Structure 1
Amino acid sequence: MDNRNDFSTEIAHETMYVDGAWLRARGRERIEVRNPANEQVLATIEEGTIEDAVLALEAARRAQPAWAALPAPTRGALVARLADAVTSNAEHLARVVTLEQGKPISQARGEIGAVVTFLRYAAENARRIEGDIIASDNRDEEIQIRRHPHGVVVGLTAWNYPAALAARKLGPALVTGNTFVLLAHEITPLSGLELARLAHGVGFPPGVINVVTGRGLVVGKALVESPLSDLITMTGSTRAGKQIYGSGAAGLKVLRLELGGKAPFIVMEDADVDAAVKAAVAARYTNCGQICTCNERMYLHRDIADQFLDKFVAASKALTIGDPMDDPDMGPKVSALEVDKIKDIVDRGMGDGAEMLLEGGPLTGGIYDKGHWYAPTVLEVRDNASPLVQEEVFGPVVPAMRVDSFEQAISLANDTEYGLSAYLFTQNMKRLLALPSALKFGEVYFNRSNGEAIQGFHTGWGHSGLGGEDGKYGFDGYLRKQTLYVNWG
């Protein structure tokens, strides 16, 4: 037996964590968590109910006033202790991520490193919660702007980075004085439960951190619609984000939605082609293409298109695919449903006239007979309306399109409902300076691959979301403002 894939001793708790204790769900149903590389059952978790969602929210509501009353540095110190605990358990957590989500182990270690970074950055900001004093129109008066926590924050996370996305929301929410209820995604819930275990060990008061499990359409909907929740922070698909937007409308919930993307990767005739190819490969295939900022469509100047595509196809073909514990370049897709979605988009794209440059597709035989495998696939398209160009693939498939000018590339790149990330490779400084106002995306990478910085601001435009994460602007989003008119005359 391969002990690397033996999960029997990996997880201490498969129940929900509510009000400082491990609890069984009110219902009796269970959800199987499967390894996407071999479809083996890793664990079975509680299928939470509406009643479970309410219990978690009630616990968070009770705990919030006392938590907010603590000095911010005290809250930050606990978050820093959680970062220390994650560091001490980093290899275990990386294994959990790899086994439930499927990314290669080195990439899972990188994700756990991001967990530590998110938590430490939030803790360091405990002394940066600031207000303003503004001159008044009246004598003997000043205007004060103060910042306060929203109250109870609900975190809804995607399956592609289950540990990092939870920490990205958890850290700033807690440091700013909110309490937190996390719905761990039903496909990858184990990372969130392990974070709860570590949080319990470092001494967070009961109710400050709660982790529930179950279906998003049941438990998630209840968390969003409940009058006990104040702010909803969600990372996921645009479709799911729109559902949450509608569910939260009746309660006028504060929403922070980081949704889908269809990032254009623009390479102009003066670009460093080798650097662009290297970045395009990393931006497309990391985590099997399951990143919202991934290179989803390439616009290549006609003068360098053949050279670029030859090198890109060769690099794509050379990628290794296998057991993520062996640390290949790519592991499996997370589920059979995701593989079917990709196949459908490719089939429709081919029906619209796309040309196959590298036919990867689903893999079978040997280790690929079990699990959800899809090899790198590269196509050339001539119509920007192709589903390959317009729909988020979220996998190792990328369409390429030739363009004649910078202006045409920008026009085609903007022809989308999404507005999360974009890429440009050029040595022309005039183009670099013109691009920010020309491209309608919240995050733009110049002459580099993806990977946002903690001190930046990760935000989408259009159907890619509302609000944002990271940096001082993301941190400030977990606070609401109060204006005081102080007259002492």
Structure 2
Amino acid sequence: MSVTHFQMYIDGTFTDGESRDTVAVENPATEEIFATVPAGTIADADRAIAAARRAQPEWSRRPAIERGRMVRRLASAILDSREHLARIVVAEQGKPISQARGEIDATAMFLEYAGEQARRIQGEILPSDHREEDVWIRRVPYGVVAALTAWNYPSALAGRKLGPALTAGNSVVLKGHEITPLSGLEIARIAHDLGFPPGVINVITGGGRSVGQHLVESRDTDLVTMTGSVRAGREIFAAAAPGLKPIRLELGGKAPFIVLEDADLDRAVDAAIVSRFTNCGQICTCAERIYVHRSLADAFISAFVARAKALRLADPMSDPDMGPKVSRPELEKIENIVSRAVAGGAEILTGGNRPGGDLFGRGHWYLPTVMLAPADSLLVREEIFGPIAPIRVIDGFEEALAEANASDYGLSAYVFTRNLRRVMQSARDLAFGEIYVNRGCGELVQGFHCGWKNSGLGGEDGQHGFEGYLRRKTMYVSWSD
């Protein structure tokens, strides 16, 4: 296999940066090295930050509608390159090609929606306590945004942050995860070809604990937005604290999937399969623990296990149901979780190991796995982030509610019921920022994707997410003689 070298994008120029060292990019389905990127340094980060600082004032002075128009043009150009970008996602991240195409569609959608917000940047005029005076409250950009993205959706997460940040008038320094650096770099190439001003978009590579931390700590970045693990979120929170820098963190989840006695069984099983095994279970909103009412338990478990066993694993380019885990450490983490859970009394109903056969001799493959979990199992406490579905049998809604809320996470939850009162109780009592009722995972761009507790700060998407990239400036304007 030929190896392609990708460069960083700083101040309108593609560059290898200060170091001549490179980092290999591996295909998780085959373990083949198919690309390299520069080993980005703190000096490279400083160059990118300086370029963004120079470019931001003029970018912010452009009419918002002009900025939004350019962001929408980027969305359109990404769709024009849909197949190319989807293949990059498959190669660096491992998801099936149809899911990768969906990710590119989502990338464009995030950008398109953000660009449409250009005419919705609203201020306020308030009456003053004084004669011939007004109080103006304006929404203005922060300045330079440091954007850090996770490996599970390397393209969509870049679009999710670039779109609102740019439309709001900020410049951006984007750093993708070390495992999946290519998607962001390709978006930079497309933006460059469209004529975005130098320095408005910068995309760099490098380690999270070196380059990433420097972006957070730098005096010249004004806002940090990050999607990733709780561990990384805590480190960013601490690194930003000395400068009291505003941060937006979209972190992990431990979503409960509650199936009550009056649920539509077939609908619940369909949604559980999608919500657990899409992207090999590597989604922060995935159904991480399933609670099934005892009256439906046998039927649900039988159908769910049969569906899990039938999921097809294969070369992601052949569009199977599930691809590999993203890396060897991530695969070994899953194996360790299953081993510890079994030692703690959990029972494997299907899966629980790597698949056999020549096709899976290389790559980071793991079978779809369903387990029965005790109440105190690590399977219902720790985020799995892989194709492991723990099931708990419950006797009523109150029990499910108590177990669901007994978690340090608070991103997403699922409830299946035909009872309106239970739906309203869920809205009131489930301590999660996002609740899906009688449907599987997949938030909408006009909603607000936000986590409670250890699942994050701030949020993404919709009007509320867009306004997170703007801050308020108050003016007291006296117009008397």
What is the DSSP-based 3-state SS (H/G/I as helix, E as strand, rest coil) of the residue aligned with 1:181?
strand
Report the Cα distance in structure 2 between the residues aligned to 1:201 and 1:365, rounded to whole angstroms.
45
Question: Could you say what secondary structure the match of 1:250 adopts?
Answer: helix
Query: Is residue 411 of structure 2 the alignment partner of residue 420 of structure 1?
Result: yes
Identity of paired residues, percent?
A: 58
Q: 1:267 to 1:196 in 2, by over 3 A?
A: same
Q: Are 1:272 and 2:261 counterparts? A: no
Instruction: Give the structure 2 partner of residue 488 of structure 1.
Output: 479
CA deviation after TM superposition for structure 1 residue 184, in Å: 1.7
Q: Does 1:93 align with 2:85?
A: yes
Q: Distance in 1 between matches of 2:157 and 2:51?
A: 22
Provide the residue aligned with 2:433 in structure 1.
442
8 Å CA contact retained: 2:164, 2:466: yes
Quick one: which amino acid aligns to residue 431 of structure 2? K
What pairs with 1:357-396 in structure 2 (closer than 5 Å)?
357-383=349-375, 385-396=376-387
Give the aligned partner of residue 40 of structure 1: 32
Quick one: structure 1 residues 7 and 473, their matched pair in 2 at CA, closer, same or farther if it must change by over 3 Å?
farther
Shift of 1:28: 2.6
Task: Report SS of the residue matched to 1:256.
Answer: strand
Pick the aligned partner of 1:334 from 326, 335, 340: 326
Which string of whole-angstrom CA distances, capped at 9 and with x for unpartnered residues, describes residues 446-482 of structure 1? Answer: 0000100000000000000000000000000000001
Equivalent residue, structure 2, for 1:71: 63
Is the Cα contact below 8 Å between 2:338 and 2:352 reproduced in 1? no
Residues matched between the structures, number? 480
Partner in structure 2 of residue 143 of structure 1? 135
Match of 2:274 in 1: 282
- Cα RMSD, aligned residues only: 1.0
Q: Does 353-362 or 217-226 show the bigger shift? A: 353-362
Q: Match of 1:3?
A: none
Rounded to whole Å, the distance in 2 between the matches of 1:364 and 1:248 is: 46
Cα displacement (A) at 1:7: 6.1
Matched, 1:15 2:31: no
CA distance in 2, matches of 1:24, 1:106: 32
Q: How does 1:22-33 map to 2 (within 5 A)?
A: 22-33=14-25
Q: 2:303: which partner in 1? A: 311
Decide which moves more: 406-415 or 24-33: 24-33
What amino acid maps onto 1:188 in structure 2? T
8 Å contact from structure 1 (residues 339, 362) kept in 2: no
**Given residue 33 of structure 1, which amino acid in structure 2 is its aligned partner?**
V
Secondary structure at the counterpart of residue 243 of structure 2: coil
1:397 correspondence with 2:380: no
Residue 287 of structure 2: aligned partner = 295
The reply to whether residue 114 of structure 1 matches residue 113 of structure 2 is no
2: distance between equivalents of 1:364 and 1:228?
51
Give the TM-score normalised by structure 1.
Answer: 0.97
Which structure 2 residues correspond to residues 201-212 of structure 1 after superposition, within 5 A?
201-212=193-204
Deviation digits for residues 161-181 of structure 1 (CA, Å, limit 9, x no counterpart): 000000000010001000000
SS at match of 1:375: coil
Q: How far apart in 2 are the matches of 1:7 and 1:181?
A: 30
CA contact (8 A) 2:230 2:251 kept: yes
- Mapped to 2, the partners of 1:252 and 1:7 lie a distance apart of 46
| 2:367 maps to amino acid | A
Q: Distance in 2 between matches of 1:344 and 1:136?
A: 63
> Tell me, which stretches of 5 or more residues in structure 2 are unaligned?
none
Residue 26 (structure 1) shift: 1.1
Counterpart selection for 1:408 from 394, 399, 403? 399
Opposite residue 45 of structure 2, the aligned amino acid is A
Cα distance in 2 for partners of 1:371, 1:365 equals 12
Of the candidates 456, 459, 463, which is equivalent to residue 454 of structure 2?
463
Distance, in Å, in 2 between the alignment partners of 1:348 and 1:137 is: 65
Match of 2:115 among 110, 118, 123: 123
Distance 1:289 1:349 in 2: 17
Partners of 2:284 and 2:227 in 1: CA distance: 10
Cα shift at 1:359: 2.7
Question: Do residues 195 (structure 1) and 187 (structure 2) align?
Answer: yes
**2: CA distance between counterparts of 1:429 and 1:81?**
43
* CA distance, structure 2, for counterparts of residue 357 and residue 214 of structure 1: 41
- After superposition, the C-alpha distances for 1:41-76 in whole angstroms (9 at most, x for unaligned) are 111111111111101000000001111111111111
SS state of the match for residue 332, structure 1? coil
How far residue 360 of structure 1 moved from its aligned partner, in angstroms, is 3.6
What TM-score results when the alignment is normalised by the length of structure 2?
Answer: 0.98
Q: 1:332, 1:306 → 2: CA distance?
A: 30
SS of equivalent to 1:191: helix
